Structure 1
Amino acid sequence: MRAVLLTAFGNPIDTLKFTEVPEPPPPGPGEVLVAMLFAPLDFSDLLVARGIYPVPLTLPSVIGNEGVGRVMAVGRGVTHVKAGDRVLAPLHGLTWAERALYPADRLFALPVGGDARQLAMAGINPPTAALLLSEYVDLKPGDWVVQNAANSGVGRSVIAFAKKRGLHTINLVRRPELVPELQAAGGDVVLVDGPDAPAYVKGAIGAASPRLGLDAIAGPSTQSLIRLLGPGGTAVLYSQLSREPAALDGRDLIFRRITVRGFWQGAPEFAAKLPAAMREGAELIIAGQIQVPIAGVYPLSAIKEAVAHAERGGKVLLQLQG
């Protein structure tokens, strides 16, 4: 079967190879054979390829952290999924191949309906958003949350989950053309990040203070986010898109009692919570409440072009069949 192999850690354009690999064996007891349909090319996938993401691999190896597929066959004892069901690959499921064999206890049947391309992105961003909103601050309906990179997959998922939970969002973006788009998606306050952001936010939400800040960028953006939190607020760093260390001002930690935490979906304490978060995210996608603009869809054979596109920006998918 066809797949993409990571042959060495380094520049993914140089080290990812489209090739033929052996077929998976038939599913044994408690196993499921899945024909993969679509898989995103995520920022975390590029970090895996560069050898700076904590996923143990023996090279050469198929990579791919998430994706959606259709069940081809199930092994003895598997009753909760059946041939024909669509399923999400488990986290770090090595999805950049036409077929994959997975433990059945890490799969569930997706609800009927919905765009398979959007569902391919349901394994990481929506559950990340769900957990970010529940695991660090005891938020109540009416509370405010502030986030940067609000136009990202996680950012759009945060908006959808927040609306479902009765929370309000302040959404920082870098381009003014994104403001009406995210307002239409349900963002309560959407603005271009900059020195005037605190005054704008104060005018928009009055005496309320955001209790939770979600940081995907790091670098100077961390401090820009923290300045919008109320005293005693919590900032959670879940990505590092700038590839720079998070900038902090010790006075915020000392005098404003700001707490800074880190989130990684692969941490063992989240494993039991992921299936429910994935299900909820998939339901929001099928309902049209989470929709991520897709910049390009490439066949496996065009992996180098796909990587180059992803490096330029925009959400890129791999089409794994046909």
Structure 2
Amino acid sequence: MRAVHLPAFGDPSVVPAYVEIPEPAAPAVGQVLIEVLYAPVNHNDLLVMGGKFPYHPELPAVLGNEAVGRVIALGAGVHHVKLGDLVTPPLYSGTWRERMLLEAEGLFALPPDADPQQLSMIRINPLTAGLMLSEYVDLQAGDWIVQNAANSGVGRAAIALAKARGLRSINLVRRAELVQELQAAGGDIVLVDEPGAAAKAAALVGDGKVRLALDGVSGAATARLLEFLSPGAAIVGYANMGGHKTAPGDLMQLMYKSVSSYFFYQNRPQFRARVPALLREAARMVAAGRLHTPVARTYRLSEVAEAIAHTLAGGKVLLDVAERRGY
């Protein structure tokens, strides 16, 4: 069976190995066997490869943190999913392989008519967005949120989930050509992330309250987000796409506005009870066409080096593990 191994921590462009590994055993009681269809290449996959992520697998390990697969065999006692169902494996289960043996507990059938490429991406980004929208501020319908990295997978999920929950969003992007695209995706206000953007947003928000900021960039962009916030708001960091470990700028606004600051990590124990409901919500939104992340390209499992290079250069890519065998 083909898979992608991490033999040692190191440079993501060098360390992954395309290998043959043993076939999984037949499913035992309470287990299912799935054929993996699509598996995203995420930035947290790259961080895992470099040993720079809270999750450190025992090496050698199969890479891959999320996917969608089709059930091809059932163990005894499994009744809540059936042969042919689409399912999403648990987080950090090593999805860059052709077939996986999984415990059936916690799995559920995904909408059969939904796009499997989109379903492959519901485990990380929509859950991250959904939890950040619910766990730090008691947001009410009509409240505003602000986010940078609005064109990212998390950003697009936050736009869709905010809209579904009656919230309004200010969305910051790096390139002007993304403004109309994210407005069409449901962003209420979309601006280029640059000095002066906060004043433009304030004029449009009026008396509204901007109660939550989502920071996926870090660095000076973090300080700029504080300019948008109302007193008593919160800022939640979840990534450092800018590659910075400091946030130059006017951080005194944390004190002046009584802003609370947090950093989000999805795999914390306190969030796990919320995951099943959020996964189902995300799957329904994908099926309804209300949650969509553009895919730049798909790659075969054997092309994992090219897929990683594309991810490092920018753009959402998927591993087409089943190689379009009728799916």
Shorter-chain TM-score above 0.5: yes
Q: How many Å separate the matches in 1 of 2:157 and 2:82? A: 29
Q: How many residues align?
A: 322
The residue correspondences of 1:125-274 to structure 2 (distance < 5 A) are: 125-247=125-247, 249-274=250-275
Q: Is the 8 A contact 1:222 1:246 kept in 2?
A: no
Q: Is the 8 A contact 2:48 2:56 kept in 1?
A: no
Q: How many Å separate the matches in 2 of 1:51 and 1:150? A: 27
Q: How many Å separate the matches in 1 of 2:316 and 2:134? A: 26
Q: How many Å separate the matches in 2 of 1:255 and 1:196? A: 20
Stretches of structure 2 that go unaligned for 5 or more consecutive residues are none
Cα shift at 1:112: 2.1
The residue correspondences of 1:242-321 to structure 2 (distance < 5 A) are: 242-247=242-247, 249-321=250-322
Amino acid at match of 1:270: F
Q: Compute the RMSD of aligned alpha carbons.
A: 1.1
Q: How many Å separate the matches in 2 of 1:12 and 1:163? A: 36
Cα shift at 1:30: 1.3
Q: How many Å separate the matches in 1 of 2:299 and 2:178? A: 25
| 1:132-175 Cα deviation digits (max 9, x unpaired) | 11111001100000010001111111111111111000000000
Cα shift at 1:308: 0.5
Q: How many Å separate the matches in 2 of 1:238 and 1:177? A: 25
Q: Is the 8 A contact 2:146 2:228 kept in 1?
A: yes
SS in 1 for 2:198: helix
Cα shift at 1:253: 2.4
Q: Is the 8 A contact 1:191 1:197 kept in 2?
A: yes
Stretches of structure 1 that go unaligned for 5 or more consecutive residues are none
Q: How many Å separate the matches in 2 of 1:49 and 1:17? A: 11
Cα shift at 1:89: 1.2
Cα shift at 1:107: 1.1
Q: Is the 8 A contact 2:85 2:110 kept in 1?
A: yes
| 1:165-210 Cα deviation digits (max 9, x unpaired) | 1100000000000000000011000000111111100111112230
Q: How many Å separate the matches in 2 of 1:92 and 1:243? A: 23
SS in 2 for 1:202: helix
Q: How many Å separate the matches in 1 of 2:55 and 2:258? A: 34
Q: How many Å separate the matches in 1 of 2:177 and 2:210? A: 25
Q: How many Å separate the matches in 1 of 2:44 and 2:106? A: 21
TM-score by length of 2: 0.96
Amino acid at match of 2:55: V
Cα shift at 1:45: 0.2
SS in 2 for 1:211: strand
Q: How many Å separate the matches in 1 of 2:169 and 2:71? A: 37
| 1:249-301 Cα deviation digits (max 9, x unpaired) | 44222221111011111111111111110110111111111111111100010
Q: Is the 8 A contact 2:41 2:308 kept in 1?
A: yes
The match for 1:15 is: 15
Q: Following TM superposition, where does structure 1 have runs of at least 4 consecutive aligned residues deviating by more than 2 angstroms? A: none
Amino acid at match of 2:186: G
Cα shift at 1:225: 0.8
Q: Is the 8 A contact 1:252 1:258 kept in 2?
A: yes
Q: Is the 8 A contact 2:66 2:89 kept in 1?
A: yes
SS in 1 for 2:247: coil
Q: Is the 8 A contact 2:182 2:190 kept in 1?
A: yes
Q: How many Å separate the matches in 1 of 2:169 and 2:251? A: 26
**102-111 vs 182-191, which moves further:** 102-111
Q: How many Å separate the matches in 2 of 1:170 and 1:253? A: 19
TM-score by length of 1: 0.98
Amino acid at match of 1:287: A
The match for 1:29 is: 29
Q: How many Å separate the matches in 1 of 2:112 and 2:72? A: 17
